[in-house]
């Protein structure tokens, strides 16, 4: 069984093909600069060198078409025919209150996603475009939706309600939803494996830190609270999103500068965060480099981001009565040593104490790392996320009728014997060049 998973962003289309029978990734890639010109695709087949293909993709339909061409390419492909694809899984950022788990897409489902587009303006429109493009090009296979909000449907009213007029919730479902759920589900389940515990006996604070950033309090294996809210705008400092701030600033600035609502939405989502503070940077590597060269605004952005992360760690640890592990994931969480270190500085009173050398060498997307100090009461893990694998498993079990919410369902990666063959192969290459990384490799109890 061959499963294609698609994650269409506003200007990108990420993909992976998974061979379910062989339990391995056959290829993965990313089409970048979709809709904005200069589009190209980086395509990686397991065991082969990555290739780059340039092709203008004015819409997501061209991007999906390019992906399908590469899958059957005589030199770079992994399929003899597109007909080998048995199903397609799509990432959808916002599922609202209607969806607590993944679903097979029909027109009613697609219409529901369209109704939610304003609540995730950077993502849901692109998700829908990707679904529609793939349905045209692959009309004879089932298409499934995996929602980022589904993981957080276990939150209770005291955590997800806002102190706003209650009729806003009744009429318009104004509440906290949370996002990054597919990633957070994966790392929560993997953290339980690394702890050697039942997932529903684990208290965690997980930090998904990429261009978008969210913190998640996990109590007894369930999402208890999360930093993103009605939209992905709330919470921590992000690449271009403001995160938490006094909402009265909006009305004040709209009146002062005569800013219309749509433009203000663009400002807080696309022109704020690290970009707003530095005036030019969204990539943490650029922020750190500029800070080292004496750029005071870059230094301020770094300090602000780390302080906000630290504040959420402390708040969530208190909210769930202490934690078994602190988990870092996503591109920045997996790679940004300085951000991790600064954010955990001074948290020893919570039992969180990291090993500086292990933290320094834990810079890889191919290895689960334990960067805890030997006397740390709380485990500190760096777990490369794998949203695509969660999507694959949801799709396969939807096809065979065995899928259910995660409280009634066990994923293959919850098995202590689970291995990601592609990551293992890449890790072996990395360890040859940087053998010191091995000191941070997490060990599964009993292995």
Q: Which residue has the tokens 């304003």?
A: 118
* From 56, 148, 244, 394, active-site residue: 148
Q: In what order do the strands lie in the sheet with 143-147?
A: 51-54, 40-45, 24-32, 12-19, 2-8, 85-92, 143-147, 103-104
CA distances from 135 to 60, 144, 196 (A): 12, 11, 42
**Largest distance between two CA atoms of the chain:** 63
Domain boundaries, the chain: 2-147, 197-382
Going through 274-427 in order, the beta strands assigned E by DSSP cover 325-329, 369-370, 379-382
375 is catalytic: no
CA distances from 138 to 25, 57, 86, 131 (A): 20, 18, 10, 10
| Superfamily for domain range 197-382 | ATPase, nucleotide binding domain (3.30.420.40)
Q: Does domain 2-147 have CATH number 3.30.420.40?
A: yes
pLDDT score, position 121? 65
Give me the residues of the chain with pLDDT under 50, please. none
DSSP result, 90-124 = EEES--TTT-SS-EE--HHHHHHHHHTGGGSTTTH
Rg of the chain over all Cα atoms, to the nearest angstrom = 21
pLDDT score, position 327? 98
**pLDDT tens for each residue of 49-73:** 889 999 998 888 898 899 999 999 9
Integer Cα distance of 436 and 7 in angstroms: 34
**Joined tokens for residue 442:** 């997490």
Topology agreement, domain 2-147 and domain 197-382: yes
What is the torsional sign of CA 11, 236, 284, 180? Answer: negative
Phi, psi of 419 (to 5 degrees): -135, 145
pLDDT score, position 288? 95
pLDDT score, position 17? 95
């Amino acid at each position: 069984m061959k499963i294609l998973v698609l994650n269409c962003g506003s200007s990108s289309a990420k993909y992976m093909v998974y061979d379910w029978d062989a339990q391995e990734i056959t290829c993965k890639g990313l089409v970048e600069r979709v809709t904005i010109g200069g589009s190209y695709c980086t395509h990686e087949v397991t065991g082969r060198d990555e290739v780059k293909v340039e092709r203008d993709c004015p819409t997501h339909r061209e991007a999906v078409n390019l992906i399908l061409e590469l899958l059957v390419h005589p030199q770079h492909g992994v399929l003899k025919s597109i007909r080998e694809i048995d199903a397609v899984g799509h990432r959808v950022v916002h599922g609202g209150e209607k969806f607590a788990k993944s679903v097979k897409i029909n027109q009613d489902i697609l219409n529901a996603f369209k109704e939610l587009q304003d609540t995730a303006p950077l993502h849901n429109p692109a998700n829908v475009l990707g679904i529609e493009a793939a349905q045209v090009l692959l009309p004879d296979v089932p298409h499934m939706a995996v929602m980022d909000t589904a993981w957080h449907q276990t939150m209770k009213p005291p955590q997800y309600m806002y102190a706003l007029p209650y009729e806003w919730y009744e009429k318009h479902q104004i509440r906290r939803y949370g996002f990054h759920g597919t990633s957070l589900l994966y790392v929560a389940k993997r953290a339980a494996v690394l702890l050697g515990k039942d997932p529903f006996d684990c208290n965690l604070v997980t930090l998904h830190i990429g261009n978008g950033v969210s913190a998640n309090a996990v109590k007894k294996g369930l999402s208890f609270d999360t930093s993103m809210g009605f939209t992905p705008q709330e919470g921590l400092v992000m690449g271009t999103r403001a995160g938490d701030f006094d909402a009265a600033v909006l009305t004040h600035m709209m009146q002062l500068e005569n800013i219309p609502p749509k433009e203000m939405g663009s400002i807080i989502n696309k022109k704020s965060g690290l970009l707003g503070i530095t005036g030019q940077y969204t990539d943490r590597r650029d922020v750190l480099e500029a800070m080292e060269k004496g750029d005071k605004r870059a230094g301020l952005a770094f300090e602000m981001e780390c302080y906000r992360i630290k504040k959420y760690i402390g708040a969530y640890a208190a909210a769930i009565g202490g934690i078994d592990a602190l988990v870092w994931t996503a591109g920045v969480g997996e790679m940004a040593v300085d951000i991790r270190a600064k954010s955990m500085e001074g948290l020893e009173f919570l039992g969180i104490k990291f090993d500086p050398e292990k933290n320094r060498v834990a810079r890889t997307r191919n290895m689960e790392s334990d960067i805890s100090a030997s006397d740390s009461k709380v485990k500190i893990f760096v777990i490369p996320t794998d949203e695509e694998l969660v999507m694959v498993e949801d799709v396969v079990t939807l096809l065979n009728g065995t899928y259910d919410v995660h409280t009634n369902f066990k994923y293959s990666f919850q098995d202590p014997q689970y291995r990601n063959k592609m990551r293992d192969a890449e890790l072996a290459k990395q360890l040859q060049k940087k053998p010191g990384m091995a000191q941070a490799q997490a060990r599964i109890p009993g292995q």
